Each structure stands twice: as structure tokens, then as C-alpha cells.
Amino acid sequence: MECACILSLEMRETILGYSSSPAMSVMLAVLKLYYVCQDTYIEAMLALQQAQVGQHKLRKRVRKHRKAFSDAQAKIQNYHTALQARRNQDENAVRERNEAQARMMQMTRERDESMRLAENREADRVRALFHAEIREEELIHRIAELQLDVHRLNNIINPIPHPVPVNHEEDPSEEDQDDGIVSNEESEEDL
């Protein structure tokens, strides 16, 4: 296209250089106008062709960048998916940590309650042992008192006679033996 433009310019200069008559001048003016229009058309065609080449390059570049853009969008989508999965994992970990802390707090409260109950039971056991020892001493003392009462009552019911002084030289007669025996009625009166 550029060669045709250069060739037409050379022909124009050659033709314009040989004009000698007015008809020829008019014809040359018409040819000049024709060549000017043709030059404008050629320039427009060249500009159009350059624009088409530029547009083709831009389309190639757009296709290339569109592919890169779609790849970048796919990567961004993958990153968003991975980020959401990571957030879900973090939320699950936080929830599990909070549940574990709540369980530990509950277990700590239960342990403290168990220890308090065990301490109370131990204190109750020690108190019960102390009261049992006191009660045992009271009962032993009461039993001793009751045994004394039983002995005293037994002595009242079955008195023990006082021994008769025995004279080894003489044999006591039967009358003397009767005098040493105390009847139950006499012993009760003495008491």
C-alpha cells in the first residue's frame, strides 16, 4: 500500500511538471484533486489498516489478559474458599476451646464440691467419733453406777451375814450359831 502511495506521488509530480496548456492545466487540476482525494483515501485506508492491526493486537492482548484475569479470578475464588474454610476451622477451634473451658470449669466446680463434701464428711466423722467416745465414757460410767446399784440391791435382797467370831478353844453351841445369823428382816431394818 505504501509503494502505491509513493508511486502515485512520483506520477503526480511528473504529470504536473509537463502541463503547458490551459486544458491541460484544468485536467491537471482535476487530476490533482483526484490524487488528493485518492491520497486521503489511501491515508484513511492505511490508518484503518493500522487501527485494525492495533485492534487485532489489542484483542489478542485482551484475550491474553482475559485468560490471566479469569485465572486470577479462579485463584481469588480458591483463596476465598480456603479463607472461608480456615475461618470455619478457627470458629470450630474457638467453639471447641470454649466448650472445653466450660467443661473444665464444671469439673473444677464438681471437684471443689466433692472436696467440700469430703471435708464435711470427715468433720462429721471426727465429730461423731468424739461424741461416740464421750457417749461411751458416759455409758461406762452409767454401767458402773448401775452395777453399784445392782450390788447394793443384791446386798439388800441377799445380805451377806457377818462372820461369827470363832473361839478356837471352845466349840460353839447350837444356840450361839443361831445368834450369829441375821435374818432378812433385821438386815433390811438396819439398812
Task: List the domain boundaries for the chain.
Answer: 2-157
CA-based end-to-end distance of the chain: 167
One-letter amino acid of 149: D
CA-to-CA distance for 65 and 79, rounded, in angstroms?
Answer: 20
pLDDT band at 19 (very low <50, low <70, confident <90, very high): low
Query: 49 Cβ partners below 8 Å, 6+ apart?
Result: 1
CA-to-CA distance for 153 and 178, rounded, in angstroms?
Answer: 25
CA-to-CA distance for 83 and 76, rounded, in angstroms?
Answer: 10
Q: What is the pTM of this model?
A: 0.37
- pLDDT 10s digits, 127-155: 999 999 999 999 999 999 999 888 888 88
The pLDDT assigned to 22 comes to 73
Cell numbers given for 95: 467453639
Cβ-contact 2, 46 below 8 angstroms: yes
